């Protein structure tokens, strides 16, 4: 696997819809760790920064964490490659835009991504399709154990794993679930969900995390508390309380919509598919909006001949970085809109 290959297809884990795939797009677990005996990155000297990078890189690549691991040296890679990694949720925007020595190790199926020298020395994440938090955590925990056998992570009995930002201290865990909630959005109940999540100290964000709008009715719910609650407790909250409830509300809202206003639903869904099949110019926001409506139609059984996996794939491949890699040239916003519309027409048989 190399970076150019990446842009041709959606992430392998995304191509198959996982458990609760009608509502849950993906599950993600991230652990933040820092090497003991070194300063955090804000105070690390250039030499220390390089030492940390080399040490972590060697440990990660020597650990047989996946069949194949690819190392990407981000200070050497072109902007477009980094954009593609951000679009695939393999690195953060912050990591993409950094200036200093840093990198990321990726498993060939893209379920594992380990950022080195982001905000913390090591940020390891495991991604799974659908609702698979337990599986994702089990793997993240295993990777953590494997790395820890050779690396000494900063830890205090009172505060747990020590992180650069005190809001991550303790378990250093961030559990995130990406949800597609078009019916709750249509019925206006999504705000209720937001408030309920806030009461449980959970953050609700858009497609691209912090500070982003919920484009395409995609919402990301994640924990904020990392101290005083164990990994298991946090996972249990998600798996037994939060996610099942949101999934149930969304499904109920979809059924209610179909019972009360089937024509409205069909109109929205078919109109969206029609626009995708015929448009000559599509911005990424509009594409996301239309794809979201089509995805809802597919999951509600209102559309034939369009697959959920295909729509999931388009959600990713029609983003700016991926389009430019496919086109093989850098494109302006206007050129991208045209290329995006053409690509979607071809994929959806317009």
- Within 49-88, which residues bind other proteins (CB under 8 A)? none
Minimum CB separation of residue 266 from other proteins in Å reads 42
Of the listed pieces 108-116, 126-134, 140-148, 214-222, which binds other proteins according to CB under 8 A?
140-148
Q: Which of 23, 92, 132, 153 binds other proteins (CB under 8 A)?
A: 153
Minimum CB separation of residue 112 from other proteins in Å reads 18
Q: Which of 212, 224, 278, 307 binds other proteins (CB under 8 A)?
A: 224
Binding status of residue 280 toward other proteins by CB under 8 A: no
Minimum CB separation of residue 124 from other proteins in Å reads 13
Neighbour-count burial of 48, counting CB atoms closer than 10 A to its CB (0-12 exposed, 13-18 middle, 19+ buried): middle
Smaller CB separation from other proteins, 169 or 243: 169
Minimum CB separation of residue 100 from other proteins in Å reads 14
Q: Which of 11, 14, 38, 322 binds other proteins (CB under 8 A)?
A: 38
Strand partners, 69: 107
Q: Which of 77, 225, 283, 284 binds other proteins (CB under 8 A)?
A: 225
Binding status of residue 119 toward other proteins by CB under 8 A: yes
Of the listed pieces 59-67, 230-238, 243-251, 320-328, which binds other proteins according to CB under 8 A?
230-238
Binding status of residue 3 toward other proteins by CB under 8 A: no
- Within 191-210, which residues bind other proteins (CB under 8 A)? 201
Q: Which residues bind other proteins (CB under 8 A)?
A: 34, 36, 38-40, 42-43, 119, 141, 144-145, 148-149, 152-162, 164-167, 169-171, 173, 201, 224-233
């Amino acid at each position: 696997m190399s970076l150019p290959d990446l842009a041709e297809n959606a992430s392998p884990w995304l191509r198959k819809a996982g458990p609760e795939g009608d509502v849950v797009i993906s599950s993600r677990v991230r652990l933040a760790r820092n090497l003991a005996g070194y300063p955090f990155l804000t105070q690390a000297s250039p030499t220390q920064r390089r030492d940390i990078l080399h040490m972590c890189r060697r440990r990660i690549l020597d650990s047989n964490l996946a069949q194949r691991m690819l190392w990407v040296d981000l200070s050497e890679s072109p902007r477009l490659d980094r954009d593609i990694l951000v679009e695939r949720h393999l690195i953060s925007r912050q990591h993409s835009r950094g200036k200093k020595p840093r990198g990321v190790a990726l498993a060939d199926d893209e379920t594992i991504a380990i950022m080195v020298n982001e905000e913390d020395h090591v940020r390891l994440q495991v991604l799974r399709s659908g609702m698979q938090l337990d599986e994702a955590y089990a793997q993240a925990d295993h990777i953590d154990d494997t790395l820890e056998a050779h690396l000494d992570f900063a830890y205090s009995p009172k505060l747990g794993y020590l992180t650069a930002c005190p809001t991550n201290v303790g378990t250093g865990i961030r559990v995130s679930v990406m949800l597609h909630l078009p019916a709750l959005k249509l019925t206006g109940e999504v705000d209720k969900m937001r408030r309920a999540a806030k009461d449980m100290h959970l953050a609700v964000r858009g497609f691209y995390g912090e500070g982003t709008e919920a484009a395409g009715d995609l919402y990301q719910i994640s924990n904020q508390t990392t101290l005083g609650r164990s990994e298991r407790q946090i996972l249990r909250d998600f798996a037994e309380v939060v996610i099942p409830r949101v999934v149930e509300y969304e499904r109920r809202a979809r059924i209610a919509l179909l019972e009360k206003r089937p024509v409205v639903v069909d109109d929205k869904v078919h109109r969206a598919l029609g626009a995708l099949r015929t448009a000559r110019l599509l911005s990424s926001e509009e594409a996301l909006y239309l794809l979201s409506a089509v995805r809802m139609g597919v999951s509600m059984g209102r559309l034939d001949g369009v697959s959920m996996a295909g729509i999931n794939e388009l959600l990713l491949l029609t983003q700016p970085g991926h389009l430019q890699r496919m086109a093989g040239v850098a494109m302006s916003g206007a050129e991208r809109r045209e290329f995006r519309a053409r690509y979607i027409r071809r994929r959806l048989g317009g």
